[in-house]
Structure 1
Amino acid sequence: MALADLIRPRSREQVVGRMLNVLAAGRGDVNPVNFAPTNYVPGDPLRTLLELTGEGVADVERTVEQLGLGGYLSTAHGAWLDALVESQYGLSRQASTFARFLVRFSAPVTTGLQVPAGMIVGTGTGLRYTTREAVTLEPGASADVLAVADSPGAAYNVPAGTITVLHTPLPGLSVTNPPGSLLSGGADTETDDALRVRASGRWAELGGGATRRAYEFWALTSHPSVDRVLVLDEHPRGQGTVDVVLWGEGGLGSSVVTAADEYIQARRPVTADVQVYSAHEINTPVPLDVYAPGADPVSVTAQIQQALAALQRSLGIGQILYHSAVIEAAMLPAGVLDVTTPLRDTHPTGVEVVTLAPAITFRSTP
């Protein structure tokens, strides 16, 4: 039997209705005078007292329900889940983090530039980053400086070559984020589901040595940006070897991998040869030809991109991207009648992860 079947809090209306029924019934131990129900119309002083009492009783029953649900990992949520995992598992919900990049400033060939700290750069989609270092550029020279996202979250883990907008004007200066420039990926606040998975992995630490679940727990706990883990524990590099492959939404960055490696190496069995590294990204172009007569292209495009982003988040390391799943995601917005694409199933290796680069066009005929 589900816990929800055992604890069913009543609403204020249900409590008040029950009290009215009892008073109208004229039970000798409760209401020997047998008041008529017409005495309890809304606005009547006695009805008002019943309403206040009913709200108090309903609030107590709601609290009892939350206490019951909050005692189990599978049903607790929000602050109740935080209290449960802190007291029973010794864990805290992982907070959101800011993406950190090395952005590359380039001066024109004709003149040098003094580039101060605090330059605001961004993407064409409106994401902004602020630099933390000043740099002097000779004519035609380039230099990499640290830039931090203006807000936390995985959405700021953008692909290489997309930070190209200068919001702080400086004539002749250009900016980009070269390949490998992500230092540490941004992360969203840990969800209830992710926290439950991590808490359930706590038990794997209790055994001798280290099980696959123990390595998964260590990896997921090592840094908030890590949200996918693949453990290769069948001696991938020879007897006694274990590989821990990491990934996070939009990428991780070298500092995240280093932090995870240090965390896991400090806990691994002394007899295990463990390597920790990031999954290899397969950036997959997804050309979509959409037929949506009468629909708003801007709205449909945004909804398709959102659906494809959810599909990407659902893909684990080494998991196949099916052509049918892409079509299903693209068909979700209202008004979309047909979608075609030359994309075929993408089969990554065991240490690769698929990311999607959608390119959406609209046609006027079926």
Structure 2
Amino acid sequence: MPPIPTPLTLTQLLNPPSRDGLLTQIVSMLSGLGFSATDWETDSDGRIILQVEAQTLADLWQAVYKIAQGGYLDTATGDWLTLLAQSQYQLTRNPPTQTIGEFRLTAAGGVGPYTFNKGDLVVTYFDPTQNNKALIYRSTNAAPVVVNPGTTRSIQVTADSPGSAYNIAPGSVLVLNTPRPGLTVDNQGTLQPAVATGAILNGPFFTAGQTLIVTSALNGGAAVGPTTFTFTADYPDMTSVANALNVLIAASPQAGRITANVLNGALSLSTILITGATAVDQITIANTGTANISVGFDTGSATSVSGAYSWISEYGQDNESDTSLITRCINKWATIGTGTKAAFISWATSADPDVQKVAVYSNLFNGTPKAGAVTLYIAGIGAFDIVSGPVHANNVYAYIFPKLPIMTELFVAPAARNTKDVVFTAKIKTQYNNDTTKNAVFNAVQNLFFRLTIGETLYKDQVIAAIITIPGIVDATLSAPGIVSDIVPAINELITLGSVTPNWLVVV
């Protein structure tokens, strides 16, 4: 057996010898001891024994290499990294999750009605990024969904398997595995209201004589407002604030357009969707209202949010990548000193595995300059929806609050959606004029939006580049009512994809 250097260095442990290298060392040792070790037949017993010995040692060295590699964040991978993160950092690798959302079923006139119970609907999407791998979705609706003749109904679906590949773009080409005559399926999504959420605050609220100024625009229509609401009293809790605000709304031009609620301790204002609406709503809370600080809204800039037009309610996630887990481990070191940006990112992502994007601002309380305050805006792969957003924000707030230094104020809120549609005209070569290419374009646009961080600008050239990088697409232009210029979001906004409307021009 060749001598093993003593003591071994980390470099040696991380650079194991190969089988051939070990065989050469063994033969050299035998030659030094007087054996005739270089004139054996290739298939002789002696040489085969040495080859087996060399392979055994090589396997042992690989085990040593993996153990050594697994001891350091810079080198650990896979299961060894999972073990290191758990044992040394008390962090668990986030597991994969399944995509949940709503597809739309439309029955032509004169057909149906069709009833779908849980599991009755099976839909396939052929993923062009995975050699047209079939991605299966099944209906998981709790109650029967009935699609009458000439109507459209939404139905909840869940991906058969976990993973981000199932977060397909709206407008993707879908195939019904459980067809019915005259029935079609799509994932264009359903409208969600615009929701503006303030800070998580505890009463009492000294709001008597203070104002909140609100503007709303429904279904892409003209804006109504600004409407000034003047509180008539102080209130013991946030529920009382919301109730009082709803009384003021009912007697204003905003009646039937917006409503106030309390979401996990925070005041929220949301639009009321118009039946049959086809465009997203907008709601803006001016930064000049004197009640903004009292009820947790921005005084530095206006709070402006849009509704959403998305089919996904819960984004599927892959098993957490090595890079992501390593980053969380590194960020956790910052929690020793507390108060650092990395510390707050570590706490937020540790508090809730669905939190993937975190924006941290110091000396700011939801846009209002305030010494010692810290503001966090959070999101998942995309922006959280109206139901789950406040829940995730509350999880993060509850996790971080006990860790805060004395005299520090904390604000946590889901990032506001800045929903943008994409309308484009693309020149597509004849041989590529198929669903595979078109789905690849939809996915490229979707993935561009998924890569955006909170507060990050979206450049129109990025959208064009995402489209024309797909083989078979030779040119693309953007047009209204979609993106036609660069989009600069507010610091609390995450630009999200609305609808995708293509116009295909077939060229030779």
**1:172 positional shift:** 7.3
Which residue number corresponds to residue 212 of structure 1? 341
Which residue number corresponds to residue 348 of structure 1? 489
Which residue number corresponds to residue 153 of structure 1? 163
**1:315 positional shift:** 2.5
Q: Is the 8 A contact 2:348 2:400 kept in 1?
A: no
**1:269 positional shift:** 3.1
Q: Does 1:231 align with 2:382?
A: no
CA displacement, residues 223-242 of structure 1 (integer Å, 9 cap, x when unaligned)? 44332221233314333554
Q: Is the 8 A contact 1:257 1:277 kept in 2?
A: yes
Which residue number corresponds to residue 203 of structure 1? 333
CA displacement, residues 24-64 of structure 1 (integer Å, 9 cap, x when unaligned)? xx32xxx224x15121x321111111111111221222222
Q: Which AA in structure 1 matches 2:138?
A: Y
Q: Which AA in structure 2 matches 1:264?
A: V
1:1-366 to 2 correspondence within 5 Å? 7-23=14-30, 26-27=31-32, 31-33=33-35, 35=36, 37-39=38-40, 41-102=41-102, 114-120=115-121, 122=123, 127-135=136-144, 137=146, 146-158=156-168, 167-169=177-179, 177-180=189-192, 182-208=312-338, 210-237=339-366, 238=368, 239=370, 241-254=373-386, 256-269=388-401, 271-285=408-422, 287=424, 289=426, 296=432, 311-326=448-463, 339-342=475-478, 344-355=485-496, 357=500, 359=502, 361=504, 364=507
Q: Which moved more, 1:247-256 or 1:69-78?
A: 247-256
Q: CA RMSD in A?
A: 4.1
Change in 2 beyond 3 A, CA 1:85/1:276: same
Q: Which AA in structure 1 matches 2:314?
A: S
Q: Which moved more, 1:72-81 or 1:218-227?
A: 218-227
Aligned-partner Cα distance in 2 for 1:322–1:22: 65
Q: Is the 8 A contact 2:172 2:439 kept in 1?
A: no
Aligned-partner Cα distance in 2 for 1:98–1:32: 66
Change in 2 beyond 3 A, CA 1:10/1:281: farther
Query: Which structure has greater strand proportion?
Result: 2
TM-score, structure 1 normalization: 0.77
**1:289 positional shift:** 3.9
**1:97 positional shift:** 0.9
Q: Is the 8 A contact 2:460 2:486 kept in 1?
A: yes
SS of the counterpart of 1:91?
coil
Change in 2 beyond 3 A, CA 1:101/1:36: closer
**1:169 positional shift:** 4.5
Q: Is the 8 A contact 2:162 2:316 kept in 1?
A: yes
Q: Which moved more, 1:61-70 or 1:256-265?
A: 256-265
Aligned-partner Cα distance in 1 for 2:109–2:472: 51
Aligned-partner Cα distance in 1 for 2:349–2:460: 29
CA displacement, residues 276-318 of structure 1 (integer Å, 9 cap, x when unaligned)? 21341433526364577x9756576666666555544433222
Q: What stretches of structure 1 of length at least 5 have no aligned partner?
A: none
**1:94 positional shift:** 0.7
Aligned-partner Cα distance in 1 for 2:107–2:441: 38
Q: Is the 8 A contact 1:10 1:58 kept in 2?
A: yes
Aligned-partner Cα distance in 1 for 2:167–2:472: 31
**1:351 positional shift:** 2.7
Query: Kindly, what percent of the aligned residue pairs are identical?
Result: 27
Q: Is the 8 A contact 1:245 1:278 kept in 2?
A: yes
Highest RCO, 1 vs 2 (Cα 8 Å, sep ≥ 6): 2
Q: Which moved more, 1:152-161 or 1:311-320?
A: 152-161
Query: Which structure has greater helix proportion?
Result: 1
**1:96 positional shift:** 0.9
Aligned-partner Cα distance in 1 for 2:331–2:379: 18
**1:255 positional shift:** 5.0
**1:133 positional shift:** 1.7
Q: Which AA in structure 1 matches 2:415?
A: S
TM-score, structure 2 normalization: 0.58
Change in 2 beyond 3 A, CA 1:51/1:256: farther
Q: Is the 8 A contact 1:118 1:131 kept in 2?
A: yes
Aligned-partner Cα distance in 1 for 2:323–2:493: 24
Q: Which moved more, 1:195-204 or 1:153-162?
A: 153-162
CA displacement, residues 53-88 of structure 1 (integer Å, 9 cap, x when unaligned)? 111221222222222221111221101100100000
Change in 2 beyond 3 A, CA 1:105/1:289: closer
Q: Which moved more, 1:69-78 or 1:96-105?
A: 96-105
Aligned-partner Cα distance in 2 for 1:257–1:80: 34
Count of aligned positions: 354
Q: Which AA in structure 2 matches 1:17?
A: T
SS of the counterpart of 2:411?
strand
Change in 2 beyond 3 A, CA 1:168/1:71: same
Q: Which AA in structure 1 matches 2:18?
A: S
